[in-house]
């Protein structure tokens, strides 16, 4: 849910339910990399509520668009991490069988 | 004003930006520079765009077994690495026993304690094959049923009940509900399986480790129960956490600030409890200290005590040594990819809510 102003779309607070530091801290990091962002930060109003408020103030662009772009960037980063990781695992596994075969030979 | 080779900040600023310094009394420059425009006035862009991230990000696997793995994640901010760690611990789903139907328990272990112990047993079931249980209707797509029926005969030795004695019931519950049965109707049980679970996965949906002690029975005691396992996540209860734990540490960097020779070198080597330093023979009886195994450094700071003018301990801010210990349901490398997928799903959910 977005809390903003009707006349000025460049600053908004996004109130996200069922989320915590996991998403908010990552999004804050990505937002901080965007040159359009003048300020961003997040808070968890009460530790017992599953809710986080993310504040975004921009240099002019609509805060909602900047926020969406940040989430999109985070997704792309995730996809890249997954791709790199899968490749590293495949490479590691392809090197492994040779060593395991040696072990088997020794056991016989 | 972007310069292709990273940044051209003065060396001391670059050090503060990319390293945490571990001084003898306390670490310094722990916070880092969050704002990407922090050095804009100097004409240096330190922001991490997606393209930059993709070209700098690296993963190197050090160890990979069935139950644990260690890898280096390089070129990523702590917030992202921490998100992966948090998701691994509390949001990657697994199957665990949630409901226990006690038929008989004359053992010394109380029902609720026994149930709790059963809940913590790791199950060898792939959670991706199951759905979350909704409306409390257990069927073959969201529930796994186990039976435990053991008794210790009178006059015999004390009996230890192990997790391997839990028997998987692929056809569902065998307990009939106590409601007055109408004639001709099939007796209703506690689950409504449409079909057998026999072909759900290649392996039978048993327990991962068959030698976990559940209870001990004295002569004449018995346990008869049925246990229903469902899908859940670690933030609801730790029994659903797929990892024993998952953690990371930043790569230690040990730097000799000046040449350390002969007696001082030997003293330094002796000081370090994990043998980070080694001695290099320069010939004609001269010796010099070198940093041999910086990764072994635990940052005990013995080498910077009492004076820290010889050695500097640092940590590389964007290099994480990530360790995952699986509890058995999924191999550790699958757990990590699942965790990354969950982060992506979170983003997707918020994007769709904002649109």
Chain B hits for A88, Cβ within 8 Å: 59-61, 71
- Do B90 and B235 touch, CB atoms closer than 8 A? yes
Instruction: For residues B70 and B205, state if they share a domain.
Output: no
Question: d(Cα B313, Cα A60) in Å, to the nearest integer?
Answer: 43
Q: What is the pLDDT of residues B66-78, one digit of tens each?
A: 999 999 999 999 9
Residues in contact with B161: Cβ distance below 8 Å, sequence separation at least 6, in sequence order: B148, B150, B213, B214, B215, B216, B217, B223
A85 has a chain B CB within 8 A of its CB: yes
Instruction: For residues B141 and B224, state if they share a domain.
Output: yes
What percent of chain B is helix, strand and coil (3-state, nearest 5)? 25, 30, 45
Q: What is the pLDDT of residues A10-37, one digit of tens each?
A: 999 999 999 999 999 999 999 999 989 9
Question: d(Cα B39, Cα B249) in Å, to the nearest integer?
Answer: 27
Interface of A with B in 7-36 (CB under 8 A): 14, 16, 19-23, 25-29, 32-35
Q: What CATH number is attached to the domain comprising B208?
A: 2.170.120.12
Q: What CATH number is attached to the domain comprising B251?
A: 3.30.1360.10
Instruction: For residues B75 and B146, state if they share a domain.
Output: no
Q: How far apart are the first and last CA of chain A?
A: 65
* Interface pTM, i.e. ipTM: 0.89
Instruction: For residues B116 and B220, state if they share a domain.
Output: yes
Question: d(Cα A87, Cα B177) in Å, to the nearest integer?
Answer: 51
Q: What is the pLDDT of residues B284-318, one digit of tens each?
A: 888 899 999 999 999 999 988 877 788 999 999 99
Instruction: For residues B54 and B99, state if they share a domain.
Output: no
Of A29, A78, A14, whose CA–CA distance to B348 is shortest?
A78
- Do A32 and B38 touch, CB atoms closer than 8 A? no
Q: How many residues does chain A have?
A: 108
Determine the CATH number of domain A2-90: 3.30.1360.10
CB contact under 8 A, B341 and A78: yes
- Do B107 and B215 touch, CB atoms closer than 8 A? yes
Last residue of a domain, one of B241, B263, B280: B241
CB contact under 8 A, B350 and A75: no
Question: d(Cα B210, Cα B147) in Å, to the nearest integer?
Answer: 14
* pLDDT band at residue B200 under the 50/70/90 scheme: confident
* Structural domain span for residue B173: 94-177+188-241
Number of domains in chain B: 2
CB contact under 8 A, A84 and B59: yes
Question: d(Cα B37, Cα B138) in Å, to the nearest integer?
Answer: 54
Q: Name the pTM for this structure.
A: 0.89
Q: What is the pLDDT of residues A32-43, one digit of tens each?
A: 999 899 999 999
Q: What is the pLDDT of residues B216-262, one digit of tens each?
A: 999 999 999 999 999 999 999 999 999 999 999 999 999 999 898 88
Q: Which two tokens stand for residue B265?
A: 């070198």
Chain A hits for B355, Cβ within 8 Å: 68
Calculate how close chain B gets to A63, using CA atoms only, in Å.
11
């Amino acid at each position: 849910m977005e809390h903003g102003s009707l006349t000025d779309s460049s600053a908004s607070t996004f109130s996200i339910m069922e989320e915590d530091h996991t998403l908010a801290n990552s999004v804050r990091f990505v937002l901080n990399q965007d040159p359009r962002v003048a300020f961003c930060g997040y808070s968890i109003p009460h530790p017992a509520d599953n809710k986080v408020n993310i504040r975004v103030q921009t240099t002019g662009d609509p805060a909602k668009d900047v926020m969406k772009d940040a989430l999109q960037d985070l997704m792309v980063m995730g996809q890249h991490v997954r791709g790199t990781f899968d490749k590293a695992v495949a490479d590691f596994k392809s090197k492994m069988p040779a060593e395991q075969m040696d072990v088997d030979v020794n056991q016989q | 004003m972007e310069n292709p080779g990273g940044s051209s900040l003065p060396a001391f600023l670059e050090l503060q930006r990319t390293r945490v310094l571990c001084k003898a009394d306390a670490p310094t420059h722990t916070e880092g520079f969050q704002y990407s425009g922090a050095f804009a006035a100097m004409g240096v862009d330190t922001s991490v765009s997606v393209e930059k991230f993709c070209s700098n990000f690296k993963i190197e696997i050090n160890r990979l077994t069935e139950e644990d793995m260690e890898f280096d994640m390089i070129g990523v901010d702590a917030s992202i690495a921490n998100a992966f760690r948090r998701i691994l611990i509390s949001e990657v789903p697994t199957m665990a026993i949630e409901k226990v139907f006690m038929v008989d328990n004359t053992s010394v272990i109380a029902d609720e304690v026994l149930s709790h112990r059963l809940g913590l047993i790791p199950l060898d079931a792939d959670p991706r094959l199951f759905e979350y249980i909704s409306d409390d209707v257990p069927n073959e797509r969201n529930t796994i049923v186990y039976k435990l029926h053991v008794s210790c005969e009178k006059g015999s030795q004390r009996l230890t009940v192990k997790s391997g004695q839990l028997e998987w019931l692929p056809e569902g519950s065998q307990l009939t509900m106590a409601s007055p049965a109408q004639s001709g109707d099939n007796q209703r049980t506690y689950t409504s399986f449409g079909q057998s679970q026999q072909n759900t996965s290649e392996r039978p949906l048993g327990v991962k480790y068959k030698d976990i002690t559940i209870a001990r029975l004295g002569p004449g005691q018995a346990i008869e129960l049925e246990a229903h396992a469902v899908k859940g996540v670690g933030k609801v209860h730790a029994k659903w956490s797929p990892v024993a734990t998952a953690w990371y540490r930043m790569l230690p960097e040990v730097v000799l600030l000046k040449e350390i020779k002969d007696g001082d070198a030997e003293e330094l080597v002796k000081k370090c409890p994990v043998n980070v330093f080694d001695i290099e023979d320069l010939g004609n009886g001269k010796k010099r200290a070198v940093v041999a195994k910086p990764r072994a450094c635990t940052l005990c700071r013995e080498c910077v005590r009492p004076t820290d003018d010889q050695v500097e301990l640092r940590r590389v801010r964007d290099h994480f040594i990530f360790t995952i210990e699986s509890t058995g349901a999924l191999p550790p490398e699958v757990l990590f990819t699942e965790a990354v997928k969950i982060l992506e799903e979170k983003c997707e959910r918020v994007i769709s809510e904002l649109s």
